[in-house]
Structure formats: structure tokens, C-alpha cells
Amino acid sequence: MDVDEAERRISHLYPKVKLPAEHGGGEATVIAWIWARTVKSPNPAWNGHVPLVRSFALSTKKGKETSVEPIVDSENQTIRYEIRTGKGEIREGTVERSGARCIATESPIPFEYVRAEAKAGRMGQQLMAIVAEGDQTRVYLSPTAKHEEAARGAVRSTLRRPLCPTRPSDSGCRPMGWSTTVISSRIGSWSR
């Protein structure tokens, strides 16, 4: 399969994104979506999901520092994300060796709670950033509802096909079943 054929088959999964003027304007192709795993906060004062991330830094390369800034809306109990560029303080992640913490209330979230939520199928995900092709560089953009839906659609369309070839012995891969998803297969370490 050549590049043109690959683009024809999967280009609908990677919609164009409008670049801001500081990145040259025009449109660029999305090359990745950066997601945060989420769980419902155990603190009853916050009735929403909160992100589980080790770091909000996207690029620490000198002169290209970029991070995700979570914006907590206490009134609506939602969290959205904006991209910050340049030097400055990057918010600490919400997960460390001893456990996690609720970004909205600063309440601790024990790993036992996270594992229980994962096993019960209540873990979620939220788009934190969009990565697009820039002029010889990556461009990080704040997520939009359009791109979150496109990203979710890409995952759903991928799941319509088996994760392993029909003859597993040919690849050393064992069938995992139709119910296994790209998203849930990555949280296996939470439930071990």
C-alpha cells in the first residue's frame, strides 16, 4: 500500500485543523490526539470526572516549551484544557507513586479506588490536546468538540476489525476477543 492509498483509506480519521496565526494560519493535518484517563472524583463535593496524568508538559525543548493547562469550572463541575506556550510554571501532574489527587478539590485518590473504577468499567477519557503537522515542527492545539468526536470515531472504527489476524499462529498474536478495545486494553495495568 502506498502513501496515497493509505491517506485515502484513513484520512477521514484525521480531520484538518485550523492553525492560529502564530503558527502560520491555514490548515494542518492532525497527527495525534493526547488523552487523559479520568475517574469520578471520590470527593462528593465534585460530581465529575477528573484527569489522571503524570505530567501536563507537552514539550520541554528549549524555546518550544508547551504545556496543557487544565481549566477547572467549579460552577459546572467540568474541566477543559488550554495549550500554554513559552517558559512558565507547568502545573504538576495528578498522579505520582503514592496515588493520585483530584485536581478540582485536591482530595487524595488512592490507587485502590482507581483500580476499582477501572474494573467496574467506570474509567473515562478526555481529550487534552491536539497535535498537528506544522512547518517542520509539531503544533499543539487546544481540543475542540469536533476533534474529540473525530478521535472517538477513529477508535470506534478501529474496533470494527479484529485486533489479531484471523490466523493467530502466523503472527504470534493470540486473539483477545471482539470486546477488547483500544482504550480498555491500555488500562490493564490499573486492574492488576
Per DSSP, the residues of 7-67 read HHHHGGGS-EEEPPGGGTSSEEEEEEEEEEEEEE-SSTT--SEEEE-SB-EEE-STT--EE
Q: Are 82 and 143 in contact (CB under 8 A)?
A: no
The residue written with cell numbers 468538540 in the block is: 145
- Nearest-5° Cα angle at 15, 27 to 125: 120
Give tens-digit pLDDT for 35-68. Answer: 999 999 999 999 999 999 999 999 999 988 999 9
pLDDT at 17 over 80: yes
Give tens-digit pLDDT for 118-172. Answer: 999 999 999 999 998 887 888 999 988 877 887 777 655 554 444 444 454 544 4
Burial of 97 (C-beta count, 10 Å sphere; 0-12/13-18/19+): exposed
- The residue type found at 169 is S
Q: Are 124 and 39 in contact (CB under 8 A)?
A: yes
pLDDT at 72 over 90: yes
Query: Which is more confident, 29 or 110?
Result: 110
Q: Binning pLDDT at 50, 70 and 90, where does residue 174 land?
A: very low
Task: Give the helix ranges, DSSP H, for 79-123.
Answer: 111-119
- Nearest-5° Cα angle at 116, 114 to 121: 95
- The domain spans of the chain are 3-157
